[in-house]
Structure 1
Amino acid sequence: MITCSNILVLGQSKYEVNTRNEVDKIPFQLINNVIVIPVEINGVKRSFLLDTGVSRPILFNFLKGTDTIPILHAEKIFLKGLGNDGRVEALRSSFNTFKVGNTVNLEQTFYIVFDSSVDFAPKLGVPIHGILGSDFFKDLIVEINYAKQYLKVTTPERYKKKKCKRCETFELQFYNEKPYLEASVTINKKRIPVKLLIDSGSSDALWLFENEPEGLFVGDYYFRDILGYGLSGSVHGKRSKIDAVTFNDLIVLHPKVAFPDPSYIKDLVKIEDRKGSIGGELLKRFICVFNYKEHTITLKPNGHYKTPFSYNKSGLTVENSGLRIITELHSKLQYATHSVIDINNSLQVKAISVTENKLLLKPAFTITQVRWDSPAYYAGLKSGDIIILLNGIDTRTYSLQELMSKFYQNEGKKIKLEVDREGQLLKKQFYLKSPLN
């Protein structure tokens, strides 16, 4: 899970749609339930997460770039992010040109984080250079079509609201420029009103802050896990499912829910009765229309509305830690998995020819976490193992998301892995099992 939200920064800027009808359609990638969009900064193209949970844009992986982004009017500051490791040192740069499709801001302020540990690329399998937040939303009508993977942005004066029988419109409340809405959750057959942050930068479905007197608690039906990664470190907590989450007449049954440990959210529970947040796995079940000018959001169910929620049944967390080198000789493949190259700088290299050999650069899928008491744990898999084969198929044919999807299949499915452990090839197998059984 990825979470980038709750960066406590403020600011003003303005985006304008530079098309004849003041409407722009911007394609995006939906990866692990989060939106990745192309952003041009002072003429340099980068990939950003679109995150309603932050205010100003944040740029990281800056020192790994192959070209230089001009940094204007910079000053040193500190950002506080989700996690419990304290503040993150950064620079604030003003009066920059940001371009998203045909939508442009000529005076954008953004923040630069130099901490090399802040890197979401391995967790998503594609280069990620920054986060774009509420500055992009506040002057536009932004429609997020998760099913068709595009943004439709419109100048408010040119926006025409369509009649929609299945839509529900809600009032937005704002705190530190971040949007909140009122909903309700049903836990143990008790319906509880909740105020939730809308957090498109989180890949989870729903976070709730545990409060047993109010009925917000997980009971004995849960498993412990790392819930996500913010600018200040990892977040731990409990995962479970609840009966339902309700938005007026829109009811989503049996959603996944995470209860972060109190030590990670002590500053967040103070925010005007906030009870949690809605993330990408729940938002992707709707077409979402954000109208910050009128303080509203409209939700329309899409084809994923009734898709059941499922947990990873393997116990494995896998990252694209870079590229592994495969030697192809007379159609026979040999592996050199000890050679791992940074994902952010090397994705454009396809192959290198050396005499009769061909060196192929393919993703190195490395196990970074093995959940205790899981099928993978009892199979003897370890953090640092590089997955070479999955059910007899070379993982070089997979993307990270395709590989991880194999661990969400039906319970009882047999998984056979061949892994490289410090140069030694090992065969492991296990059967998928729900962590909530």
Structure 2
Amino acid sequence: MKKCLTLLFLFVFLSPFASAQDEFVIQNKRKSDKIKFKLINNLVIIPVEVNGVTLSFLLDTGVSKPIIFNFLNVSDTLQIKDTETIYLRGLGEGESVEALKSKNNTFKIGDAIKLNQDLYAVFNTNLNLAPRLGIPVHGIIGFDLFKDLIVEINYSTKTIKLTEPEVFSYKPCKSCERFSLEFHKKKPYVYALVGVNEKDVPVKLLIDSGGSDAIWLFENEDKGLKPSDKFFYDFLGHGLNGSVYGKRSRVETFSLKSFVLKNANVSYPDTKSVFFAKIIKDRNGSLAGNILKRFDVIFDYQRKLLTLKKNKYFREAFSYNRSGIELAHQGTRVVREVDKSAVGKNGLMNRNETQNNFRIDRTIKYKLVLKPAYVIVELREGSPAEKAGLLKGDIILSINGLGTHQYSLQQVIHKFYDDVNKRIKLKVERDGKILTFSFNLERLL
């Protein structure tokens, strides 16, 4: 049996609220549990146990049923059953994506467990999130968790607290702001105010914790939503159906009641990439991870409430990648390293116990190890990196004299956000040849 489903943003909610028999329940006396998460590129990555197998999932307020991406790598151990073929559609201009809908799966997040969970297993290997984030990410989970439990995300401590609604109580908080949520297709929306082109414009935004940007706005001349004179065209990210491009700029202010952020990043995606997202009545865009991480957040779907409290990231300056390079982890490469097991405790200085003196051991032993290969997958036209001669497909071997194998993917990318005029020297491998390129990071806006 085949079905065709349409996703309205990154992914659509595909079913109504679950019945009381199919809910996440916390199996301890407190009816509450706290778990650690990884914050990668403004995204929350949590451990999720699926049918007894521990995986890593992106926590996304914009998705309904869990979706597994690294399906081909984990299908055998997950024992996915009761399946039917469907087709999903989301952001991007590509074709619908084939997936398997599976029923009767067991999900466990900390002490929260749910039986009879539906999930969608996607076959397309291009949708793997791991290369872009630099860590294994097997899937996405959202609405099914948020609708059953109160979800408190503390970005400062990188912890999530899950609580059953009947035992949850709000603490007095004078420094908090509380918002009413609206739901369309089971997705949460909030109202905000953007200062753009010297005008304050009220906007209705999807809350999208699965997006790493700050704000996305849909261009609307009548409403005054358009980039300022200062903008640049760029790759914005990957949707379910392909890459998304658009204009990047800044808004003068972004206000959530009394919380006001200045010079916040904003992106205006191309109309074709967000065609299905724009059909939601009165929707003007999205509020994503680079805004959410600046608050401690309480999602209370049952009461339709969102609570925000400023945290240590609130005043962090907004910045853009000044190089024009987008990297991904693609495979591995062989690196020669010093074999530390063959070196004495004092480095190369070894002690001769019988003569009670020291000698220098000039014989250094090396070993060959496999390390991640960081590859240029997107290159902004007219960027410093492109003008220097770099190309998509180049493997970056070193940055400013230090091997990239010493860094995580996010640490390498972070160097492209450095100060204006910072000199960047890259050694790359291209078609088996080693090449060197240099450029200065440029002001974008």
Residue 5 of structure 1 aligns to a residue whose secondary structure is coil
Residue in structure 2 matched with residue 201 of structure 1 by the alignment: 210
Q: Distance in 1 between matches of 2:195 and 2:11?
A: 26
After superposition, residues 103-114 of structure 1 pair within 5 angstroms as: 103-114=112-123
Q: Comparing 192-201 with 263-272, which one deviates more in the overlay? A: 263-272
1:71 counterpart residue number: 80
1:428 to 437, 440, 444: 437
Offset from partner CA, 1:395-436 (integer Å, 9 cap, x none): 111001111110111101111111111221111111111222
Native 8 Å contact 1:312 1:434 kept in 2: no
1:238 pairs with one of 234, 240, 247: 247
Greater Rg by CA: 2
Q: Give CA-to-partner distance per residue, 1:13-64, whole Å, 9 cap, x none.
A: 4111112201100110000111111111110111110000111100111112
Per-residue CA deviations over 1:157-182 (Å, capped at 9, x if unaligned) read 11121111111000011111110011
In structure 1, the partner of 2:95 is: 86
CA contact (8 A) 1:85 1:232 kept: yes
TM (norm. structure 2) is 0.89
Distance of 2:149 and 2:372 partners within structure 1: 38
Unaligned runs of 5+ in 2: 1-7, 341-364
Distance in 2 (CA, whole Å) between partners of 1:125 and 1:395 is 13
Q: Structure 1: which 5+ residue stretches go unaligned?
A: 332-355
Query: In the alignment, which of 407, 432, 439 is matched to residue 398 of structure 1?
Result: 407
Which residue number in structure 2 is paired with residue 248 of structure 1? 257
1:7 alignment partner, one of 2, 5, 12: 12
SS in 1 for 2:277: coil
Structure 2 distance, partners of 1:414, 1:271, is 45
Looking at structure 2, the residues matched to 215 and 312 of structure 1 have their Cα atoms a distance apart, in angstroms, of 27
Give the equivalent residue in structure 2 for 1:174.
Answer: 183
Please say if 1:136 is aligned against 2:136. no
**Whole-angstrom CA distance in 2 between matches of 1:101 and 1:423:** 46
Moved more, 50-59 or 370-379: 370-379
2:54 aligned with 1:45, yes or no? yes
Could you say what secondary structure the match of 2:12 adopts? coil
Counterpart CA distance in 1 for 2:97 and 2:433 is 39
CA 1:148–1:330 in structure 2 vs 1: closer, same or farther (change >3 Å)? closer
Q: What is the deviation of 1:66?
A: 8.2
Q: Which residue of 2 aligns with 1:124?
A: 133
* Separation (CA, whole Å) in 2 of partners of 1:418 and 1:84: 34
Q: Report the 3-state secondary structure (helix = DSSP H, G, I; strand = E; otherwise coil) of the residue aligned with 1:117.
A: helix
Q: What secondary structure is seen at the aligned counterpart in 2 of 1:254?
A: strand
Which stretch shifts more, 88-97 or 194-203? 88-97
- Whether the 8 Å CA contact 2:71–2:123 is kept in 1: the answer is yes
Matches of 2:261 and 2:269, distance apart in 1: 21
Give, as a single letter, the amino acid of the residue that structure 1 aligns with 2:41. Answer: N
8 Å contact 2:11–2:240 — kept in the other structure? Answer: no
Aligned to 1:292: 301
Which one of the candidate residues 288, 308, 311 is aligned to 1:279? Answer: 288
Contact 2:69–2:129 (8 Å) recurs in 1? no
1:146-161 to 2 correspondences below 5 Å: 146-161=155-170
- What is the percent sequence identity of the aligned residues? 47
Question: How far is 1:140 from its partner?
Answer: 0.7
Alignment equivalent of 1:95, drawn from 99, 104, 107: 104
| 73-82 or 403-412, which deviates more | 73-82
1:8 CA drift (Å): 4.5
Pick from 51, 62, 65: which aligns with 1:56?
65
Root mean square deviation of aligned Cα: 1.6
Question: Which residue does the alignment assign to 1:416?
Answer: 425
Worse overlay, 67-76 or 134-143: 67-76
Q: What secondary structure does 1:403 align onto? A: helix
Tell me the residue number matched to 1:263: 272
Runs (4+) of structure 1 exceeding 2 A deviation are 3-8, 64-67, 327-331, 356-359
The alpha-carbon deviation at position 377 of structure 1 amounts to 1.1
Structure 1 counterpart of 2:318: 309
- Correspondences of 1:315-326 after superposition (within 5 Å): 315-326=324-335
- Matched to 2:422, the amino acid is K
Distance in 2 (alpha carbons) for counterparts of 1:236 and 1:8: 24
For 1:383 and 1:36, the matched residues in 2 are separated by 28
Q: Equivalent residue for 1:190?
A: 199
- Give me the whole-angstrom Cα distance separating, in 2, the residues matched to 1:68 and 1:231: 25
Distance 1:159 1:37, change over 3 A: same
Shift of 1:328: 4.0
CA distance in 2, matches of 1:259, 1:242: 11
User: Aligned partners of 2:425 and 2:9: how far apart in 1?
Assistant: 34
Structure 2 residue corresponding to 1:223, chosen from 214, 221, 232: 232
Question: What is the number of equivalent residue pairs in this alignment?
Answer: 410
User: Are 2:376 and 2:396, in contact at CA under 8 Å, matched by a contact in 1?
Assistant: yes
The one-letter code sitting in structure 1 at the alignment partner of 2:87 is F
* Superposed displacement of residue 212, structure 1: 1.0
Task: Find the counterpart in structure 2 of residue 351 from structure 1.
Answer: none
Q: TM-score, normalised by structure 1?
A: 0.91
Aligned-residue offset at 1:65:
3.0
